Amino acid sequence: MEQQSKALARIGNIETGVERTAGTTAGGEDLAVLAPAAAAALNLLADAVRRGGTDHDDIVQALKAARVHEAFAAVFDAASERVMDAADDPYDFDVRLHADNLAGAAGDVRRAFEWL
Give the residue with greater pLDDT, 47 vs 8.
Answer: 47
Residue 104 has pLDDT above 70, yes or no: yes
Confidence (pTM)? 0.67
Dump the DSSP string for 76-92: HHHHHHHHHHH-S-TT-
Per-residue pLDDT of 30-86, as tens digits, reads: 888 888 988 898 898 888 888 887 788 888 888 899 999 999 999 999 999 999 999
pLDDT at 19: 57
Integer Rg of the chain from CA: 18
- Residue-level pLDDT at 26: 53
* Closest C-alpha to 17, from 30, 4, 28, 26: 30
Does the pLDDT at position 18 exceed 60? Answer: no
**Other residues' Cβ atoms within 10 Å of the Cβ of residue 12:** 4
